[in-house]
A and B are shown apart, each in its own frame.
Chain A
Amino acid sequence: MRKLTVALVVLFLFAGSALAAYPEKNIQGYIMWGAGGAMDNVARAITPMAQEHLGKTIIMQNKTGATGAIATTFVANQPADGYTLLFGAENPNLYKVTGLSQIDYDQFDPVFLMMGNVGVVVIPKDSPFKSYKDLIEAAASGKTVTVGSTGPGGLPYVATTMIEKIHGVKFNKVQFDGEGPCLTALMGGHIDAVAVGLLAAASHIKAGSVNGLAMISKERIPGLDSVPAVTEIYEQYAPYLPWGAFFGVFVKKGTPKEAYDALQAAYQKAYEDPKFDEFAKNMGGVKLGLTGDEAREFIKQNQSVSAWLLYDAGGAKFSPEEFGIKRP
């Protein structure tokens, strides 16, 4: 009798906890990049709208360092209960080949990829180059062309490597602390060109303080139609595209389906909010809106292009093959 009571109580407790709707308490969100950057802005813009649909607060914190590996490792070590979210960009895709960390998006499920960032090649407004062809031909003729970069693995570095590989040219790379400082140096005339994310460059291109030569994309970007897509100029880019940065929200693998679905629905609704449209338009970001398998596919494609470019350029310690990353 006593055993039966205990069993019933246990059963009841289990049922109770299973029935309690997610979320029962506030959720912690960790942003892998610092305050004021693109990742931070995207995360902080969409989350307040998503939490309205969840009914609980998502407490946002920046946990920076080691190009996001600190936050990624931290969240991977939390319980997979849906109460710890990782706001991450494309960086973990290169952790394994650079030897930075063994924990990357393989340990996570993408809840939602909100926004993408396309690379764009820009030059100072008083530059002698008038077109993308000019720039490539100058580099091909053996002239020194100095370009900005943010260090191996960053979008500018990988984009520049892609250009170098396709045209068989070499640029002189100077490393800055981020895409913003690259643009500052470009405006001051300290470098000749830089390939950066459109999010950082859009407002400067629109204002005419820098000139956009080509979007590293198959299509032109709405709102900046004057900048040609790179495939219009050189078809050789097509196999590498689409490629760019992305910003998403992730949970650890093994998170209960109920929690995953609740989060996914909340972010989906926030994504469809016209306020988010406005935000994406102002920033110059490309709305992605991917989730589930589609998101996983997108991340894999990005990883394969970046990892192999980096490896072929000698910027990676380990071959992508070791980790089963397929060549694009």
Chain B
Amino acid sequence: MEQNLQYFLIPFLNWEMMLLIWVGVFAGIWVGAIPGLSVTMAASLLISFTFSWDINSALALICGVFVGGVYGGSITAILLNIPGAPAAIATGIEGYPLAQRGEAGKAIGLCTTVSVFASFVGIIVLAVAAPVIANFSLKFAPRDFFLLAVMGILLIGSIGGGDPVKGITAGAIGILISMVGMDPSTGEMRYTFGNIYLMAGISFVTAMIGLFGVSEALTQFRQAGLKSPKQNLDRIIPSWATFVKYLPLSIRSSLLGVFIGALPGTGGDVAALLAYDQAKRSVRNPSRPFGTGAYEGIVAPETANKGAIGGAFIPMLTLGIPGDAVTAIIIGALYIHGLKPGPMLMIETPHLFWMIVSCLSISSIALLVLGLISVKPFAKIIEIPKEIIMPVVIILSVIGTYAIQNSVVDIFYMIGFGIIGYFMRLYGYATGPMVLGLILGPMLDANYRRTMQGAEDQFLPFLQGFVTSPISLFLTLAIVFLVFSQTAVYRRWRGIQ
């Protein structure tokens, strides 16, 4: 124990690591805020960059960028309705209307405070219960990931913007586009027309930048010349009473985030969307109706995606299995630095575990300070005239898209999606469901087929699995309830309008 505390204190006593964490968080916030520049990309760049460094310093920087980057994605979602990363999609739905009312400062302030809280929840769970959660997460069968994806698809109802037919259409097209490329199971080509660039599939990040970034910019050009809403920046730090009011929701969503983050292969994006949906269903009296700037709709996804950071480290540090894309890169970095990530990591190099816990803690503190300091300058971004800020957004979108995999073809895709998104908005189709379809399509496809293959392509054993495995049964019942709770019968019974 004493030993662990000593390991925990390493970064606190080393000014170089301390400085690197702060620099990392600061850089992360900006990287995260730019659409397309993702934490994953920043982490992989940093790994070549820090090759000759000492591993402790490299980890300090990467942890800082991780925490800062997840936060940064939400800032642009609130200010410009352009999520910097998929984990911030839900935040934009409530955050942007708030910014339009002049409450951007308050929204970012709240977002910062609950983010830091959730990040600590994730770290504490990581420190206390990592092995237990890791072993439980292994029990999730492909069937359960399929059910999680189905649960995610139900979100179309939440982010589809009013008209269910339009929402479902956009979502279905999103799923269809996600199928383009090489079939992951048989290697057959789907909708590729013999084109090698289509064989690689269409990256959902590329589509997201187009559908959210460029199409939003094009839409806002229509309002060029209009005066931007004046921002009220008097009270940006939420009062203690406000914080306590959202505490139950924060705890619930951050724990959900930790758990989803700990599942191998799912990260902050799925966590944030599920948490938003959960809040929308369970909060009885939101500060404003959802979709028009409910603070609950910021708290839930923001706490979930920050909780997912600690969660992602759980399987990585205990089992050597990445919890998400960033931790996958960190595993690679550990190898390059001569360490052996894997189940023995905690036994052979316990200092590493406690040092990561500690680096994440310092990062969260840094986030609180840097986040709150930058609320005012950030909020000013809104007041910049549209005709100046939107071209900048488009340029950043192009750079961000190219940077994903150094592909010029991706830029054309991105612009194409931007134009499609513009017309979708013009005719009242929300772009969110399409991105949702793109994110969840592969998860649905691959896990459905894995489950089928596991059942030797027999329909009956396939169905049996949903009731014989406890996890699957729980998830199946949850989905049934989610659907049932939307029916008139249920609403009348519970007395909800």
A residues apposed to B, CB below 8 Å: 35-37, 40-41, 44-45, 48, 60-67, 69-70, 73, 98, 100-101, 144, 146, 151-153, 172-177, 180-181, 183-185, 187-191, 202-204, 206-209, 275, 278-279, 282-283, 315
Check if B446 sits within 8 Å of A177, measured CB to CB.
Answer: yes
- Chain A's closest residue to B43 (CB) is A35
Residue pairs across A and B with Cβ atoms less than 8 A apart, 28 shown, are A35-B40, A35-B328, A36-B331, A37-B332, A41-B335, A45-B335, A63-B405, A64-B200, A64-B405, A66-B181, A66-B182, A70-B196, A70-B200, A100-B187, A100-B199, A151-B185, A151-B187, A172-B454, A180-B321, A183-B321, A187-B138, A190-B141, A202-B342, A203-B320, A203-B343, A282-B338, A283-B335, A315-B187
B48 at the interface (CB under 8 A from A): yes
- Interface residues in B154-184 by Cβ distance below 8 A to A read 181-182, 184
Check if B338 sits within 8 Å of A279, measured CB to CB.
Answer: yes
Please give the distance in Å from A76's CB to the nearest CB on chain B.
11
A206 to B184, CA, bound (A): 30
Complex interface bits, B83-111 against A, C-beta within 8 A gives 1, otherwise 0: 00000000000000000000000000000
A202 to B342, CA, bound (A): 9
When distances are taken between beta carbons in the complex, the residues of chain A under 8 Å from B328 are 35-36, 180
Check if A41 sits within 8 Å of B199, measured CB to CB.
Answer: no
Question: Which of A41, A65, A185, A275 has the most chain B CB atoms closer than 10 A to its own CB?
Answer: A65
Check if B187 sits within 8 Å of A66, measured CB to CB.
Answer: no
Check if A279 sits within 8 Å of B199, measured CB to CB.
Answer: no
Question: Which of B182, B197, B264, B332 has the most chain A CB atoms closer than 10 A to its own CB?
Answer: B332
Given contacts A36-B44, A60-B48, A66-B196, 19 further A-B contacts (CB under 8 A): A35-B43, A36-B322, A41-B332, A45-B335, A64-B200, A69-B199, A70-B197, A144-B456, A172-B453, A175-B184, A175-B449, A175-B453, A180-B322, A181-B265, A184-B264, A184-B319, A203-B342, A208-B343, A282-B339
Check if A282 sits within 8 Å of B340, measured CB to CB.
Answer: yes
B406 at the interface (CB under 8 A from A): yes
When distances are taken between beta carbons in the complex, the residues of chain B under 8 Å from A315 are 187
Check if B336 sits within 8 Å of A41, measured CB to CB.
Answer: yes
Check if B200 sits within 8 Å of A174, measured CB to CB.
Answer: no
When distances are taken between beta carbons in the complex, the residues of chain B under 8 Å from A174 are 142, 450, 453-454
Complex interface bits, B321-339 against A, C-beta within 8 A gives 1, otherwise 0: 1100100111110011011
- Chain A's closest residue to B347 (CB) is A207
B47 at the interface (CB under 8 A from A): yes
- Chain A's closest residue to B200 (CB) is A65
Question: Which of A151, A153, A176, A188 has the most chain B CB atoms closer than 10 A to its own CB?
Answer: A188
Complex interface bits, B184-211 against A, C-beta within 8 A gives 1, otherwise 0: 1111000000001101110000000000
A203 to B199, CA, bound (A): 33
When distances are taken between beta carbons in the complex, the residues of chain A under 8 Å from B319 are 184, 187, 209
A152 to B183, CA, bound (A): 10
B487 at the interface (CB under 8 A from A): no
Question: Which of A176, A279, A315 has the most chain B CB atoms closer than 10 A to its own CB?
Answer: A176
Check if B329 sits within 8 Å of A35, measured CB to CB.
Answer: yes
Check if A63 sits within 8 Å of B197, measured CB to CB.
Answer: no
B288 at the interface (CB under 8 A from A): no
B221 at the interface (CB under 8 A from A): no
Please give the distance in Å from A226's CB to the nearest CB on chain B.
15
Check if A188 sits within 8 Å of B140, measured CB to CB.
Answer: yes
B257 at the interface (CB under 8 A from A): no
Complex interface bits, B67-96 against A, C-beta within 8 A gives 1, otherwise 0: 000000000000000000000000000000
A63 to B44, CA, bound (A): 13
Complex interface bits, B427-449 against A, C-beta within 8 A gives 1, otherwise 0: 00000000000000000001001
Check if A207 sits within 8 Å of B335, measured CB to CB.
Answer: no
A203 to B187, CA, bound (A): 29
Check if A44 sits within 8 Å of B332, measured CB to CB.
Answer: yes
**Cross-interface CB contact of B329 among A36, A185, A188, cutoff 8 Å:** A36
- Interface residues in B106-152 by Cβ distance below 8 A to A read 138-142
B51 at the interface (CB under 8 A from A): yes
A177 to B342, CA, bound (A): 19
Please give the distance in Å from B23's CB to the nearest CB on chain A.
22
Check if A101 sits within 8 Å of B196, measured CB to CB.
Answer: yes
When distances are taken between beta carbons in the complex, the residues of chain B under 8 Å from A152 are 186-187
B52 at the interface (CB under 8 A from A): yes
B407 at the interface (CB under 8 A from A): yes
**Cross-interface CB contact of A184 among B138, B405, B446, B450, cutoff 8 Å:** B138
B341 at the interface (CB under 8 A from A): yes
Check if A275 sits within 8 Å of B184, measured CB to CB.
Answer: no
Check if A175 sits within 8 Å of B185, measured CB to CB.
Answer: yes
B478 at the interface (CB under 8 A from A): no
Check if A190 sits within 8 Å of B335, measured CB to CB.
Answer: no
Check if A275 sits within 8 Å of B338, measured CB to CB.
Answer: yes
A65 to B446, CA, bound (A): 17
When distances are taken between beta carbons in the complex, the residues of chain B under 8 Å from A36 are 44, 322, 325, 328-332
When distances are taken between beta carbons in the complex, the residues of chain A under 8 Å from B197 are 70
When distances are taken between beta carbons in the complex, the residues of chain B under 8 Å from A208 are 343
Please give the distance in Å from A284's CB to the nearest CB on chain B.
9
A73 to B195, CA, bound (A): 12
A174 to B450, CA, bound (A): 5
- Chain A's closest residue to B343 (CB) is A207
